[in-house]
Amino acid sequence: MRIKGGRIVRTAIASALLTLVAAAQDLVWQTPTGFRAIGEMVLANGLLVTGNVAGSGGIIAVDTKSGKIVWRAPGVMSNGPASDGRNIYTTVLTDQLTQRLVALDLKSGKMLWSAQGQRWGGGFTRVHVDGGRVFLAGQDGKIRSFDAGTGKLLWAFAYSPGKGVCPTDIASEGGKIYFGGGEQHYARSQGVFLWALDAASGKELWRFASKPESYSRIGECVQAPAVSNGVVAVTGSNLIYGLDANTGKLIWQQQIRRVVEGHDRRRMLSRPYIAGDRVYTIFEEGLVGWELSRGTPIFSFDGRFPQEQSTRRLQLADGRLFFTANFESPEVTKSRQGFLYALDVTTKQIVWKHRVNRPSQYSDPANWSTSEFVVAGGAVYYANFQFVAKARY
């Protein structure tokens, strides 16, 4: 900060220091994990569970009040965890480069069962648990259901006759599961679909193909769906669809285009996020929302959001939309996840921000950002570099 003409002028360094001070004031605790590359996380019964996705740091459970690590389980967490309030379900990479679905006791981290080995490179989507069943979609072209108590395979459904492409995370409601996936493109390929299956039997109920262009012969990849009140929301390219959850019938469809560098362009949409009768999605230059039941546009906010689809995350709590972005440094093009923001959905004003990256001896701080966060109980839990943290909002 310097004086110029009797006015206080804030320098870039001073602004950065003030931002760090504000972040420190919000911070409740910050816990080193003992490893870098922290994956997805889940909150369950007062514990924050996450793990190391690129090394042998294991899976950890952190007490949400104190920030202390309660237990640590071995293995590389290859996909994010899920919980039914009793156990943790996730996939781990073994020493034999095989991925396995495992169930861990939530209180102790003790392994209860493991199932479904698959060679590294095949890959799974995030584990989903509902109604006493654990669901897992793989790039081997199959989605499987396991008994949550025993790990017994209940059924398997082939969404592709061979190796699958674009499998998404799974959503569920009313005894049905929804996910995207299909077969590799070739002359006779059917392409990619959004699928609806009976959760108990694995029987196909319906499928829907996203075709962003009028000349598209087959369905193209979609983002992970969301479902609520009998409507499935799913995005593909610059399109968002609202589908009848029981029949797959198209209820509404909207698209996002923007003029970028003088040209009208399609803007790729993130996965949808549902809150009440609203559905939101993020693209590079903004955040938009529609009525879930009818598709009527009801919300729009411009900003510099992450470029990568996988890093665009959104949560709604207390009438606020929480997301990562970087509105502080307009010149930044690569890392736009250095700050957590809360946006009031009524006033469209930023009401809270928190810097999630930290200066590091290993790299420029702008490169250490986050896309993994969970909002609950007036706090945001997030991961970055070598720690997990809790901040008040």
Domain 34-124 fold:
Thrombin, subunit H (2.40.10)
3-state helix, strand, coil in the chain (%, to 5): 5, 50, 45
pLDDT of residue 318: 94
Mean pLDDT of 147-164: 94
For residues 134-163, give the mean pLDDT: 94
Percent of the chain with pLDDT over 90: 63
Q: Please say if the pLDDT value at position 15 is more than 50.
A: no
The residue among 117 and 102 whose pLDDT is bigger is 102
Q: For the segment 296-333, what is each residue's pLDDT rounded down to a tens digit?
A: 999 999 998 988 877 889 999 999 999 998 888 756 55
Domain ranges of the chain: 34-124
Residue pLDDT, tens place only, 36-55: 888 999 999 999 999 998 87
Q: In the β-sheet with 231-236, what is the strand arrangement from edge to edge? A: 226-228, 231-236, 239-244, 250-255
Pick the more confident residue, 123 or 368: 123
pLDDT band at 122 (very low <50, low <70, confident <90, very high): low
Q: What is the pLDDT at residue 368?
A: 55
367: pLDDT strictly greater than 90: no
Which residue, 254, 327, 227, is CA-closest to 286? Answer: 327
Long-range own/partner contacts, residues 49-56 (CB < 8 A, 24 or more apart)? 49/81, 49/83, 49/88, 49/106, 50/77, 50/81, 50/372, 50/383, 50/388, 51/75, 51/76, 51/77, 51/81, 51/90, 52/76, 52/77, 53/77, 53/78
- Cβ neighbours of 337 (radius 10 Å): 29
DSSP reduced 3-state for 239: strand
Q: Which residues contact 135 (CB under 8 A, 6 or more apart)?
A: 127, 128, 129, 143, 144, 145, 146, 170, 172, 177, 199
Confidence of residue 12 (pLDDT cuts 50, 70, 90): very low
Percent of the chain exceeding pLDDT 70 equals 86
Residue-wise pLDDT for 64-114, tens only, equals 999 999 999 998 898 889 999 999 999 998 766 778 999 999 999 999 999
Pick the residue with more confidence: 246 or 161? 246
Average pLDDT over the chain, rounded to an integer: 87
Residue 359 banded pLDDT, cuts 50, 70, 90: low
Note the pLDDT of residue 23. 55
Lowest mean pLDDT across 12-21, 100-109, 237-246, 270-279: 12-21
